C-alpha cells in the first residue's frame, strides 16, 4: 500500500512538474546536464541571493524518475541556504545509494518516495541527475560542500 502511494507521488511529480520552466536574468546561474547512462537531459536554473537559493527551476526531458526527482529537488531547495541544501543533497544520495537515511531529522519531503530506487542500481543516476547538475552549478560556491560518507 505504501509502495502504491509512493508510486503515485512520483508519477504526480513526473506529470505535473513543479518549478518547470526557464528563469531569466543576469543573476541566474544555469547548467545543462545530461545523464551519462541513459540520455536524459535537463537545464537547471538557480537564483542566489547571498547564500540563499531564492528561486530555482528546471527544464528537461527524461524518464519519470529523473523528471520527478528534479521536480522534488526544486521544491526541497527553494528558499534554503546553501549549507542546508548540501546536507539535504548528501542525505538524498544516501537514500538512493543505500536505501535509508542516516538522519531522520532531515526532511526529504516527497523525495522520500524515491527510496525504492536504491534497489534499481541502473536507475540511481536517474534519481541523482538533478543533484549532480546542482553540484556542477554550485562548484565555485564556498558555502556549498557535500559530504559523501557513503
Q: Is the four-CA dihedral 115, 11, 7, 122 of positive or negative sign?
A: negative
Q: Tell me: the pLDDT tens digits for 107-126?
A: 999 999 999 999 999 999 99
- pLDDT tier for residue 30 given thresholds of 50, 70 and 90: very high
DSSP string, 74-114: HHHHTT-BHHHHHHHHHHHHHHHHHSS-S-TTS--GGGGGG
Q: Tell me: the pLDDT tens digits for 66-89?
A: 999 999 999 999 999 999 999 999
* Average pLDDT of every residue of the chain: 91
Residue ranges of domains in the chain: 2-137
Of 121 and 5, the structure prediction assigns the larger pLDDT to: 121
Of 4 and 12, the structure prediction assigns the larger pLDDT to: 12
What is the per-residue pLDDT for 102? 87
Which CATH number applies to 2-137: 3.90.1010.10, 1.10.10.10, 3.40.50.300, 3.30.428.10? 3.90.1010.10
- Give the closest residue to 42 by CA, choosing from 10, 74, 12: 74
What is the per-residue pLDDT for 150? 45
- Joined together, the cell numbers standing for residue 133 give 547538475
- Joined together, the cell numbers standing for residue 118 give 536504491
What is the per-residue pLDDT for 13? 94
Amino acid at each position: 500500500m505504501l509502495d502504491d502511494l509512493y508510486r503515485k507521488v512520483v508519477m504526480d511529480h513526473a506529470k505535473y512538474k513543479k518549478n518547470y520552466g526557464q528563469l531569466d536574468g543576469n543573476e541566474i546561474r544555469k547548467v545543462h546536464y545530461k545523464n551519462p547512462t541513459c540520455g536524459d537531459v535537463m537545464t537547471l536554473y538557480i537564483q542566489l541571493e547571498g547564500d540563499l537559493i531564492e528561486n530555482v527551476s528546471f527544464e528537461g526531458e527524461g524518464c519519470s524518475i529523473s523528471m520527478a526527482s528534479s521536480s522534488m529537488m526544486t521544491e526541497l531547495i527553494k528558499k534554503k541556504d546553501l549549507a542546508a541544501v548540501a546536507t539535504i543533497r548528501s542525505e538524498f544520495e544516501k537514500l538512493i545509494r543505500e536505501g535509508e537515511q542516516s538522519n531522520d531529522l532531515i526532511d526529504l519531503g516527497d523525495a522520500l518516495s524515491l527510496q525504492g530506487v536504491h534497489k534499481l542500481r541502473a536507475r540511481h543516476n536517474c534519481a541523482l541527475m538533478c543533484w549532480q547538475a546542482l553540484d556542477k552549478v554550485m562548484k565555485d560556491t564556498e558555502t556549498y560542500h557535500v559530504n559523501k560518507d557513503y
